[in-house]
């Protein structure tokens, strides 16, 4: 059940990264949230086939990741989760669009190949952007910004509590699974007929856990409202970063840097 262990480790490692200190970590969380959303939107607004145009956007992860001390390995492992859907959707393009876009020496490049590559580029860039955000911004800061954007208190609490109890519940499931395996050797996974009582037990345990947490929160004066710490206002550096980031972003959207550089080489 490596998925369960992997889940716990994955959250831990991202949390540790988010607690780090770097110029990117020090940026205002609202700035990071806004720039990430803008980046993803601009990347996705590219028409299919525009492989060279999208190439310039690799600058963001390439520069920000070393700057923020985020390891490539961790983030690339996460990419695996997003790939199946994109590959599933993109393979159709590869098969259906067989018209030759251009011939490069002995190879003929089809329109399908171009659009498949551009889908993969979009997957890579959008996933990296979101992971960079969570690897450089503590979870509580992201929630606070979402609340400031108008996210209702109940959702905010929901989000915080789901995240908080994730490792507790995964550990619970892990010990139940270990117990199950010890009682039924030579089975790799849970049998479907046992799944009802297995998950049912987990539900009941979760409910009990929920009750206990509620009592504990009540004892500490919980009145149904989540109070977060106030975030400092953005400083000059945050504003400057946003302006530069957005200008470069929109310039690269309409100015194809790769094509320009390629044109210079005669």
Partner 1 sequence: MHMADALLSPAVGGAMTVVSVATVAYAVKKISKDSLDEKKIPMMGVMGAFVFAAQMINFTIPGTGSSGHIGGGILLAALLGPFPALIVLASVLLVQCLFFADGGLLAYGCNVFNMGICACLLSYKFVYQPIVKKGLTRRNILVASLASSAIGLQIGAFGVVVETFLSGVAELPFESFLILMQPIHLAIGIVEGIVTASVLNFIQSARPDLLSSVAFETKLASSLSMKKVIAPLLIFTALTGGGLSIFASAYPDGLEWSIEGVTGGAEIERDGAIYKTMGGVVERTAFMPDYAFKDSEGAPLETSAAGIVGSVITLAIAGGAGLAVKRLKK
Element (H, E) at 153: helix 153-183
75 Cβ neighbours under 8 A, 6+ residues apart: 65, 127, 128, 131, 132, 135
Residue 264 binds partner 1, judged by CB under 8 A: yes
Q: How far apart are CA 223 and CA 263, in angstroms?
A: 64
User: Could you say which residues in the range 165-204 bind partner 1, by CB under 8 A?
Assistant: 165-166, 168-170, 172-173, 177, 188-204
Candidate ranges 120-128, 228-236, 243-251; the one touching partner 1 (CB under 8 A): 120-128
Question: Considering beta carbons, is residue 42 or 233 the nearer one to partner 1?
Answer: 42
Candidate ranges 207-215, 228-236, 237-245; the one touching partner 1 (CB under 8 A): 207-215
Neighbours of 147 (CB within 10 A): 17
Comparing C-alpha atoms, which of 69, 62, 48, 211 is closest to residue 118? 48
Helix (H, G, I), strand (E, B) or coil at 48: coil
Question: Considering beta carbons, is residue 231 or 258 the nearer one to partner 1?
Answer: 258
Residue 67 binds partner 1, judged by CB under 8 A: yes
Supply the minimum distance, in Å, between the C-beta of residue 27 and partner 1.
16
For partner 1, what does the binding mask look like between residues 1 and 40, x meaning CB under 8 A?
A: x-xx--x--xx--x---------------------xx--x
Residue 144 and residue 231 in contact, taking contact as beta carbons nearer than 8 Å: yes
Q: Which of 113, 127, 132, 249 binds partner 1 (CB under 8 A)?
A: 127
Comparing C-alpha atoms, which of 22, 16, 101 is closest to residue 63? 22
Q: Which of 35, 123, 136, 145 binds partner 1 (CB under 8 A)?
A: 123
Supply the minimum distance, in Å, between the C-beta of residue 122 and partner 1.
4
72 Cβ neighbours under 8 A, 6+ residues apart: 65
Candidate ranges 161-169, 230-238, 243-251; the one touching partner 1 (CB under 8 A): 161-169
Place of tokens 């046992």: 194
> What is the sign of the dihedral through the CA atoms of 127, 28, 224 and 212?
positive
Residue 263 binds partner 1, judged by CB under 8 A: yes
Question: Considering beta carbons, is residue 148 or 164 the nearer one to partner 1?
Answer: 164
User: Could you say which residues in the range 45-64 bind partner 1, by CB under 8 A?
Assistant: 45, 47-53, 55-56, 58-59, 62-63
Q: Which of 9, 71, 148, 154 binds partner 1 (CB under 8 A)?
A: 154
Q: Estimate to the nearest angstrom the gap between the alpha carbon of 206 and the chain centroid.
A: 26
């Amino acid at each position: 059940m490596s998925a369960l262990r992997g889940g716990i480790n994955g959250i831990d490692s991202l949390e540790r990264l988010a607690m780090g200190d770097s110029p990117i970590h020090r940026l205002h969380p609202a700035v990071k949230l806004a720039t990430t959303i803008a980046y993803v939107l601009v990347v996705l607004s590219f028409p299919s086939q525009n492989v060279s145009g999208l190439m310039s956007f690799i600058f963001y992860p390439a520069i920000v990741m070393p700057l923020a001390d985020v390891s490539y390995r961790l983030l690339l492992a996460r990419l695996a989760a997003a790939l199946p859907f994109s590959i599933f959707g993109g393979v159709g393009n590869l098969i259906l669009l067989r018209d030759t876009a251009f011939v490069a020496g002995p190879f003929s490049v089809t329109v399908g190949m171009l659009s498949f590559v551009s889908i993969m580029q979009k997957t890579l860039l959008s996933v990296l952007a979101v992971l960079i955000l969570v690897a450089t911004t503590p979870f509580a800061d992201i929630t606070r910004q979402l609340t400031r954007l108008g996210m209702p208190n109940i959702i905010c609490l929901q989000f915080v509590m789901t995240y908080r109890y994730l490792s507790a519940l995964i550990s619970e499931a892990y010990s139940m699974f270990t117990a199950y395996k010890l009682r039924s050797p030579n089975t790799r996974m849970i049998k479907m007929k046992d799944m009802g009582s297995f998950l049912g037990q987990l539900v009941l345990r979760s409910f009990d856990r929920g009750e206990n947490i509620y009592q504990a929160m009540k004892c500490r004066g919980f009145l149904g409202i989540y109070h977060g710490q106030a975030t400092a206002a953005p400083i000059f550096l945050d504003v400057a970063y946003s302006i530069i980031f957005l200008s470069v972003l929109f310039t690269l959207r309409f100015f194809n840097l790769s094509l320009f550089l390629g044109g210079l080489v005669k």
